[in-house]
Amino acid sequence: LSEKKPKVVFVLGGPGSGKGTQCANIVEHFGYTHLSAGDLLRAEIKSGSENGTMIQNMISEGKIVPSEVTIKLLEKAIVENENDKFLIDGFPRNEENRAAFESVTGIEPEFVLFFDCSEEEMERRLLSRNQGRVDDNIDTIRKRFKVFVESSLSVIDYYNSKGKVRKIDAAKPVGEVFEAVKAVFAPALD
Ligand code: UP5
Ligand code: MG
């Protein structure tokens, strides 16, 4: 992986802030490969892996899966892809995730997109998503919000102190949010 030296952008924000939606737009316009840590974990459950039950239990409780599991899935996805630029969506979710990813992969993000949105709006979105996610029920949604505030915001603070956070008002309609996202990526084009 160190030979590959991929460019990575972390895409962070609360549950339902629009990370997946905006990543799809970024892929189309800027040629990144989208790696959603949550999607990789859900695929791991489906594949019937030995960690499947543990992952399923963590997701149902809104808890953060051990770093080594998530990092292995991310590394594999990066190595197996030809592309050299990646959006990592929904990871790192706590300080330990962040430090472990950096030390295992040697990768530091180019910058961090942070989708800022009120819990009220995120809750509305998650409750109307209707895609059968086991964690889209009001009990688990509240747990996910709590974990985000207690564990994930510190990661954003960390990168903010390094001048790497690009904060986006994510409460606006999808198209308006993407206009703000484009303004972040366009100057970063090389
Ligand atoms: N929508 C999107 N944008 C909108 C807008 N601007 N206006 C109105 N509606 C908008 O969007 C959510 C819904 O809102 C959709 O219906 C969309 O159409 C609409 P989406 O783009 O899916 O938001 P996203 O931020 O991706 O929400 P998601 O639910 O995926 O965020 P989470 O961070 O909660 O979920 P994730 O899949 O990343 O993680 C799930 C669980 O996996 C975690 O809780 C955790 O248990 C586990 N996990 C780990 O343990 N480790 C990891 O590293 C990653 C995940
Ligand atoms: Mg998502």
**Closest ligand 1 atom to 131 CA:** 16
Residue 188's pLDDT is 58
Give the mutation target among 70, 125, 133 for probing the ligand 1 site: most ligand atoms within 8 A of CB: 125
Distance CA 11, CA 46 (A): 24
Q: Going by CA atoms, what residue is nearest to atom 31 of ligand 1?
A: 15
- ipTM for this model: 0.99
> Does 186 score more than 80 pLDDT?
yes
Taking CA 159 as the corner, what is the angle to CA 155 and CA 163, rounded to the nearest 5 degrees?
Answer: 160
The domain made up of 7-181 has a fold known as Rossmann fold (3.40.50)
Give the mean pLDDT of the chain: 96
Give the mutation target among 11, 12, 21 for probing the ligand 1 site: most ligand atoms within 8 A of CB: 21
CB 135 within 8 A of CB 62: yes
The domain limits of the chain are: 7-181
Find tokens 């999808």 and name the residue: 174
CB 67 within 8 A of CB 75: no
Residue 2's pLDDT is 66
Give the Å distances, CA to CA, from 9 to 6, 12, 28, 145: 10, 10, 15, 23
Instruction: Please indicate whether residue 35, judged by its CB atom, sits closer than 6 Å to ligand 1.
Output: no
pLDDT tens readout for residues 4-49? 889 999 999 999 999 999 999 999 999 999 999 999 999 999 999 9
Residue 187's pLDDT is 75
The values of phi and psi at residue 161, to 5°, are -70, -20
Residue 126's pLDDT is 98
Instruction: Please indicate whether residue 34, judged by its CB atom, sits closer than 6 Å to ligand 1.
Output: no
